[in-house]
Amino acid sequence: MSDFVTPGVPADAAELIALDRAHVWHPYASMTDPAPAYPVVGAQGVRLQFADGREVVDGMSSWWAAIHGYRHPVLDAAARDQLDRMSHVMFGGLTHPGAIGLAQRLVAITGEGLEHVFFSDSGSVSVEVAIKMAMQYWQGRGESRTRLFTIRGGYHGDTFATMAVCDPVGGMHSLWADALPQHVFAPRPPGGEDLDPGWLAETRQLLERHRGEVAAVVVEPIVQNAGGMRFHSPAYVTALRKLTTEFGILLILDEIGTGFGRTGAMFAHLAADVVPDILCVGKAMTAGYLTMAATLCTPEVARGVCGGGAGLLMHGPTYMANPLAAAVACANLDLLATGAWREQVTGIEAGLRAGLAAAEGLPKVADVRVLGAIGVIETVGPVDVRAVTEAALASGVWLRPFSNLIYTMPPYVTGAADVTRIAEAMVSGARANARV
Ligand SMILES: *Cc1c(COP(=O)(O)O)cnc(C)c1O
């Protein structure tokens, strides 16, 4: 018998926790003084099964990815079928039906004119690829453009190029001031349905001033996700498309958080009725099964990139277009094509609105907002992560608050009673946060 922990074999929760604390570094976490991590040994539908026997409703969709819940029969079957054919094959010089089928599907459901698909292994890398595409596009036109233009409050990933376009205050730029390229930041779009003329004037002026050096504008349309869970009107996305077209600058939309129905539209760029030059998708693309992302672009961008000195896009992850991930992603997009997600997201939106109203006016609550299957309680000052997490678990719900946000992005298949439970857990979390 091995002395090692074996995946899938029941182990004592306390032992797992001790080994985890000794060896495993968690995201955005200290290794020397780790916060608690709860061992999960199974998941089914919208429920996570903890090693200590507890079963909780998942309010996070595993970072917004598991939109159809866990162990979905169609997705499980797609993964198993592909496993029987091949788990992986290199993508240099070879191709396979999964990648081709997924590219076809992505082209079909995204804005008219996005024709070409570059697969990568995570969202951050897909944004890196988008940035590379934009810079190579300008090289192809005989110009060296390495600056990017974005809005404050964004989040585009944890790699160096993407960190440089994350919010300069909340995005930990201070840690990396000397290592990051300096890009141009426009103000964060204010709330409200109508485009704010002051914002437009300032943003236009800033872009005009830098028009000769900016390769691309990079933004998350409609929802700024990990940068603060803030929503802006589609009118701002439309305005940025107009400005970039006028100044001849590329527009990169990062829909890694907003894509595949989360906001109530299949993609936020479709709700804003714009087509970007380059589009990044990830997270929910494989419905939370495997890591995969994609960067789509127009034929004009592709011609620009390939017309330059290199003549090629210089990127190629080892696990590019992984067949297992592609098979699950195709099955996921076929599930989405049935359209059931629309009613599910609308139902979640209504449930969250009703349930989260109880948080309005609570001490230390600054704002409560809901859009599609996203519910947010914004607090005054940073949340006490531990107090909120424990209060939510006591209500039978898994939440992962951060910064000044208690939020949910539940699986689309979450039923009305469980949505109510998630909202109650968030309100209970806000109350607990007010007490500490
Ligand atoms: C999560 C996210 C990323 C980064 O994706 P990873 O797969 O974590 O690298 C980039 N942009 C947005 C908008 C995201 O939500």
- pLDDT value of residue 7: 87
Contact present, 278 and 296 (Cβ < 8 Å): yes
Banded pLDDT at 431 (limits 50, 70, 90): very high
Q: What is the pLDDT of residues 238-249, one digit of tens each?
A: 999 999 999 999
Contact present, 391 and 431 (Cβ < 8 Å): yes
Testing ligand 1's pocket by substitution, the residue of 64, 283, 289 carrying the most ligand atoms inside 8 A of its CB is 283
Q: What is the pLDDT of residues 212-237, one digit of tens each?
A: 999 999 999 999 999 999 999 999 99
Atom of ligand 1 nearest to the CA of 154: 13
- pLDDT value of residue 9: 80
- pLDDT value of residue 308: 76
Tell me which long-range contacts 380-388 makes (C-beta under 8 A, separation of at least 24). Answer: 380/404, 383/429, 383/433, 384/432, 384/433, 384/436, 385/35, 386/35, 386/36, 387/429, 387/432, 387/433, 387/435, 387/436, 388/429, 388/430, 388/432, 388/433
Interior angle at CA 348, CA 345 and CA 351, nearest 5: 155
Would the pLDDT of 174 be above 80? Answer: no
The one catalytic residue in 121, 167, 254, 384 is 254
Atom of ligand 1 nearest to the CA of 63: 1
Testing ligand 1's pocket by substitution, the residue of 156, 159, 262 carrying the most ligand atoms inside 8 A of its CB is 156
- pLDDT value of residue 396: 98
Question: Would you call 132 a catalytic residue per the annotation?
Answer: no
Q: What is the pLDDT of residues 114-154, one digit of tens each?
A: 999 999 999 999 999 999 999 999 999 999 999 999 999 99
Report percent pLDDT > 90 for the chain: 93
Banded pLDDT at 8 (limits 50, 70, 90): confident
Question: Would you call 242 a catalytic residue per the annotation?
Answer: no
Angle in degrees, 0-180, between the axes of helices 385-394 and 416-435, rounded to the nearest 10: 140
Q: 294 CB less than 6 Å from ligand 1?
A: no
What's the whole-model pTM score? 0.97
The one catalytic residue in 70, 137, 155, 236 is 155
Strand ranges for 122-277 from DSSP E:
147-151, 184-186, 214-219, 223-224, 230-231, 250-254
By C-alpha distance, which of 320, 313, 289 is closest to 96?
A: 320
Would the pLDDT of 173 be above 80? Answer: no
Q: What is the pLDDT of residues 291-343, one digit of tens each?
A: 999 999 999 999 999 997 789 999 999 999 999 999 999 999 999 999 999 99
Strand order in the sheet with 147-151: 116-120, 293-297, 278-281, 250-254, 214-219, 147-151, 184-186
Structure tokens at 216: 């691309």
Q: 155 CB less than 6 Å from ligand 1?
A: yes
Report d(CA 255, CA 164) in Å as an integer.
18
Question: Would you call 283 a catalytic residue per the annotation?
Answer: yes
